[in-house]
Structure 1
Amino acid sequence: MLLSVIGAIILGFPIAFALAGVATLYGLALIGPFVGNIFMLRLFQVLQDYILIAIPLFVFMGVVIEQTGIASQLYRTVLEWVGHIRGGLAIATVLAATIFAAATGVVGASVVAIGILALPQMLKYGYSKPLTTGVICAGGALGILIPPSIMLVVYGPTAGVSIGALFLAAIPAGLLLSGLYVLYVSLLCHLRPEEGPAYKGEPIPWTKKITDAAVSILPVGLLILAVLGSIFFGLAAPTEAAALGAFGSLLLALVYKKLTLRSLFEAAYRAVRISAMVYMVLIGAGFLSAIFVRLRGGDAVAHLVAGLDLPTWAVILVMLAVVFILGMFVDWIGIVMITVPLFIPIAKALGLDLLWFSMLLIVTMQTSFLTPPFAYTIFYLKGIAPPEVTTWDIYRGVVPFILLQLLGVILIGFFPEIVLWLPKILGLWS
C-alpha cells in the first residue's frame, strides 16, 4: 500500500486522490463492498473533529497578516538592527522569517513575503545566490514548525499527543534551528566575506530603531502572545485560540488601514482553498489509515520492526530515515498520515517519550520543504525569483540548511530537555 501511494504521487496524482484511490482499490479487493461504510465513518470523524477547525482559522490569520504589509515592516526593522554586520541582510532575513513564522504558520506565505523583500536586497548588495536563496527557503520553512503551526494541529490528533504540549515543545525547537541558521551565516560571512558583505546604509538613530520595532514587531508579538498564551495558560482550546488569532489579524489589518472588502474577500477565498486542500488530504489519508488498520497492517509493521532485534536508537534512526526519504517525494501531510499511525505504536512499545519522539519526527519532517526534487519552498521561491536565479542556485543554497536541520534533530535526540522543559514547567507534559 505504501509503495502504491508513493508510486501514484510520483506519477503526478494529487496526494489526496492518491491516498483515497489506493485505499479504495485495496479496500474493495481485500474487504469488499462493506468498505463504503468504513469510508463514511472515517469521513464523519474528520469533518466532526473540533480541533481541526483551527486549520482554516490559522490559515486565514496568516493570509490576512501577509496582506497587511507587516512582513515588509518587520524586515526593514530587523535590518535596521543587524544589517551593518557581515551577513547582516541574511541574518535579518532569518530573524524576520522567524518572527513572521510565528505570526502565520503557513510556509507559502512566509517564503513569498520574505522572498519578495529580501531577494532583491541581497542580490543588489552582492550576496551569493546560494546563500541568498538558502536563507529565504530555510527561514520560510520555519513557518511549519514554530507555533501556531498547521502541521502541529494535524499531527496532534493523529498521534494522540496534546496540541498545547506540541506547541510548547516546538517553540525551542524552532528557535534552535533559527539560531543554527544565524550562527552558520555569521561564520560563513566572516570566513568568506564575499558571500555576504556588510550592508552599507545610512546610520540610523536609536530612537528610530526603537520606534520602528514598537510599530512593526510589538503588534505581531501581542497577537502571537494572545494566541499561544491563551492555549498555554488554559484560557482557550487550540480552536478557540485560532479564532482569537483570526480576529486579531483583522484588527491589525484595520489598524494598518489594509482592511477592505476586496482584501477580506481575497483572504477568505485563499483560506478556503488552502483549507479545502488540507481537508481533502486528511479525508484521503483517513480512508487509507482505516483500510490499513482493518487489514492489520500496523500490527504487521510493529512485529516486523520488533523482530529486527535492533537496539532502540537504531529503530529510531530507521524511522527518521524513512521520514527523511519520504520528504523528498511526499509533502508533510502525506508523511504524517502515512508514518505516524505506524510509528507511534512502535514508539509506545519501545517506551519512548511520545512528545520527544514526536518532535524528532516533526523536525525531520520539516526537511521535506527543502529536500529536492519535490521541495515546496524551492517552488515558491523560484516562482518569484528573477531569471538570473536558477533552480540549481536554489538547490545548492538549501543543502547547508538541510544539514543544519539534521544537526537540530541530533541535538534534540541527545538532549531531550531542549523540547521537554517548557511543556513540563507549564504542566502540559509529565
Structure 2
Amino acid sequence: MSAEILTILMFVTLMATIALGHPLAITLAGVATLFGLIDNGGNISALFQMFINNAWGIEQNYVLVAIPLFIFMAQILDRSKVSEGLFDALYIVLGGMRGGLGMAVIVVSTVFAATTGIIGASVVAMGLMAGPALLKRGYDRGLASGIICSSGTLGILIPPSIMLVVYGGLTGLKETSVGNLFAGAILPGILLSSLYLGYVAVRCAINPQLGPPIPEEDRTATLKQKVMMTVKSFVPPFGLILTVMGTILAGVATPTEAAALGCIGAMVLALFNRKLNFEVLKLACEATLRTTAMIMLLFIGGKMFSVVFLSMGGGDVVADMLLGMDVSPYVVLAIMMMVVFIMGMFIDWAAILLVVVPIFTPIAGDLGFNPLWFAMLVCVNLQTSFLTPPFGYALFYFKGVAPPEYTMGDIYRGIMPFVVIQVIGLCLLVGFPEIITWLPSLFFGG
C-alpha cells in the first residue's frame, strides 16, 4: 500500500475514532499500532521495540519535569485565593468606568495567567468570582461569558505555560527552547489581553447597557485608597512572576529549576493567606498527579502516532504536497494555521501538538520561517481551541461554575467576537514578527 493511501487512511481513522468518543491517548496509540503493523508487515516485536524506545526517550526528557512542578504551583495558587484580593481591588478602581468591571476581569485573568499556566484554574476561578458579579451589575450575559472565557484562556499562552513546556520538549531545537518560548510568548499574551480590553471598552462606550458602571454608592474609596489597594494586591503575584520568569530570562535558572522556585513561592503566598495546610497540600498533590499522568499518557500516545506516521512516509507526503504548491510561502502558512484551527475545534491541544509539530516544523523550516516565530503562531492559534465550539473546554469549564442564568446560547454568542479578536491578533503576529522575536533576542541573543 502506498504512503499516500496510508496517510489518508491514518488521518481518517483517527478522526473517526475521536468522533466515537474514545479516550484520546488510547485512540492515538491504537491507531498507531494498527497502521504500524500494516506498514511493517505485521512485525509486532519490531513495532513494540520502536514504541518502547521512543516512550523511554520521552520519560528521560529533563525539561518535562517542569510540567508537574508548574501544575502543582497552579493548584496551590488556586487554593490560596491570591486572585480574589486583586479582583476586589480592581473592582473598586475600574468599576466606575463603562465596562470597567469586565476590564478588571481581563486584567486579573492576565496576571493570574502569568502565575498558573493552566486555563482550567483561571476560567473556574474567574467564573466563580466574576460570573455572579457581572450578572449582578447588569452586564450582558454574552459579553460577560466572552470576557471570562477568553481572558481565562490566556493561561495556556502567557508563561509559565504548560503548552510551551510541551512544545519545547517536542522539538528539541535551540530556537524553540522553553526559555525562548517563554520570552517569545510574553508580548503576544499582552497583545491579546490589550485587544480584549480595547474591544470591551469600545463596545461598552457605544452601548453602555452592555457593561454599566457600578453604582455611585460603591465608589467611596479615595484615590490614595485605590492606589494602596492596587499595589497591595499586585505585589504578591508580581513577586511570584518575578521569581519564575525573572530567573529564566536572567539565565539564573532553567525552566525546571524556576518551576521548583515557583512551587516554593506559591506555598509562601498560601502561607501568608493562611491557606496552607495538610488538606490543601493533599488536594494539590492529587490534582497534580492526575493532570501529569493524563499529559504524559497523551505524550506517549502522540509520540507513537507521530513515529509511525513519519516512518511510513506520511511526513514526506504532507511536505511534498505543501511544498509542491506553486504559491507564496505565506499561503502554505495559512493552510497550516487553518489545519491547526480546525483540529482545535475537535481535539485537545496536547494531541494537536504531538501530531502537527513533527510534521509542520520541518516544512516551516524548508519555507525559511523562523522556528520560534512559527512555534508561537501555532501556540496562539491553539489558544482558540479552548473557545471554538463544539468542544471548547473553557466554555464548559465556565458553564460548570456559572450561575444558571448563563445559558450555553449566551456563552456561544459571547465568545464569537473574541475568537475573531484572536484571529486578528494572529494576523498581527504574522505581519509583525518582532512582537515574538524581540524579547528572546534581547535576553538570549540571536
Q: Which residue of 2 aligns with 1:398?
A: 415
Asked if 1:129 corresponds to 2:141, the answer is yes
Question: Which letter maps to 2:192?
Answer: L
Per the alignment, in what secondary structure is the counterpart of residue 143 of structure 2?
A: helix
Paired with 1:10 and 1:222, the residues of 2 have a C-alpha distance of 44
Asked if 1:380 corresponds to 2:380, the answer is no
Q: What is the correspondence of 1:293-332 to structure 2 with a 5 Å cutoff?
A: 293-332=310-349
Asked if 1:40 corresponds to 2:40, the answer is no
Q: Which residue of 2 aligns with 1:414?
A: 431
Paired with 1:291 and 1:399, the residues of 2 have a C-alpha distance of 37
Paired with 2:328 and 2:357, the residues of 1 have a C-alpha distance of 20
Of the three residues 320, 335, 360, the one matched with 1:343 is 360
Paired with 1:7 and 1:93, the residues of 2 have a C-alpha distance of 39
Paired with 2:254 and 2:11, the residues of 1 have a C-alpha distance of 34
Of the three residues 181, 185, 198, the one matched with 2:213 is 198
User: Deviation per CA, 1:65-113, whole angstroms, max 9, x where unpaired?
Assistant: 0100111111111222211100011100000000000010100000000
Paired with 1:280 and 1:2, the residues of 2 have a C-alpha distance of 20
Q: State the superposition RMSD in angstroms.
A: 1.0
User: Deviation per CA, 1:5-42, whole angstroms, max 9, x where unpaired?
Assistant: 22211210111111111111111222221100011011
Of the three residues 163, 166, 189, the one matched with 2:204 is 189
Deviation (angstroms), 1:419:
1.2
Of the three residues 83, 92, 103, the one matched with 1:71 is 83
Paired with 2:255 and 2:12, the residues of 1 have a C-alpha distance of 35
Question: Which letter maps to 2:14?
Answer: V
Q: Which residue of 1 aligns with 2:309?
A: 292
* 2:82–2:269 Cα contact (<8 Å) kept: no
Paired with 1:135 and 1:324, the residues of 2 have a C-alpha distance of 21
Q: Which residue of 2 aligns with 1:168?
A: 183
Q: Which residue of 1 aligns with 2:6?
A: none
Q: Which residue of 1 aligns with 2:158?
A: 146
Of the three residues 12, 20, 30, the one matched with 1:21 is 30
Per the alignment, in what secondary structure is the counterpart of residue 426 of structure 1?
A: helix
Of the three residues 6, 31, 36, the one matched with 2:15 is 6
Q: What residue ranges of structure 2 are gaps of 5+ in the alignment?
A: 1-9
Question: Which letter maps to 1:176?
Answer: L
Question: Which letter maps to 2:394?
Answer: T
Per the alignment, in what secondary structure is the counterpart of residue 388 of structure 2?
A: coil
* 2:92–2:219 Cα contact (<8 Å) kept: no
Moved over 2 A (4+): 205-216
Paired with 2:220 and 2:434, the residues of 1 have a C-alpha distance of 41
Asked if 1:58 corresponds to 2:67, the answer is no
Deviation (angstroms), 1:157:
2.3
Paired with 2:236 and 2:51, the residues of 1 have a C-alpha distance of 44
* 1:348–1:354 Cα contact (<8 Å) kept: yes
Q: Which residue of 2 aligns with 1:207?
A: 224
Question: Which letter maps to 2:21?
Answer: G
Of the three residues 248, 257, 262, the one matched with 1:231 is 248
Bigger Cα displacement from structure 2, 140-149 vs 202-211 = 202-211
Paired with 1:225 and 1:238, the residues of 2 have a C-alpha distance of 13
Deviation (angstroms), 1:331:
1.3
Paired with 2:361 and 2:323, the residues of 1 have a C-alpha distance of 13
Deviation (angstroms), 1:210:
2.9
Paired with 1:398 and 1:155, the residues of 2 have a C-alpha distance of 26
Deviation (angstroms), 1:304:
1.3
Deviation (angstroms), 1:405:
0.2
Paired with 2:92 and 2:60, the residues of 1 have a C-alpha distance of 47
Paired with 2:372 and 2:78, the residues of 1 have a C-alpha distance of 31
* 1:329–1:374 Cα contact (<8 Å) kept: yes
* 2:120–2:397 Cα contact (<8 Å) kept: yes
User: Deviation per CA, 1:372-423, whole angstroms, max 9, x where unpaired?
Assistant: 0000000100101122211111000100000000000000000111111111
Q: Which residue of 1 aligns with 2:3?
A: none
Question: Which letter maps to 1:331?
Answer: D
* 2:100–2:213 Cα contact (<8 Å) kept: yes
Q: What residue ranges of structure 1 are gaps of 5+ in the alignment?
A: none
Deviation (angstroms), 1:335:
1.1
Bigger Cα displacement from structure 2, 310-319 vs 202-211 = 202-211
Paired with 2:143 and 2:261, the residues of 1 have a C-alpha distance of 37
Paired with 1:44 and 1:134, the residues of 2 have a C-alpha distance of 42
Per the alignment, in what secondary structure is the counterpart of residue 444 of structure 2?
A: coil
Question: Which letter maps to 1:416?
Answer: P
Per the alignment, in what secondary structure is the counterpart of residue 127 of structure 2?
A: helix
Asked if 1:260 corresponds to 2:269, the answer is no
Question: Which letter maps to 1:357?
Answer: F
* 2:340–2:378 Cα contact (<8 Å) kept: yes
Give identity over the alignment, percent: 45
Per the alignment, in what secondary structure is the counterpart of residue 72 of structure 1?
A: helix
* 1:77–1:216 Cα contact (<8 Å) kept: yes
* 1:6–1:330 Cα contact (<8 Å) kept: no
Paired with 2:11 and 2:131, the residues of 1 have a C-alpha distance of 39
Q: Which residue of 2 aligns with 1:282?
A: 299
Bigger Cα displacement from structure 2, 148-157 vs 355-364 = 355-364
* 2:96–2:219 Cα contact (<8 Å) kept: no
Question: Which letter maps to 1:191?
Answer: I
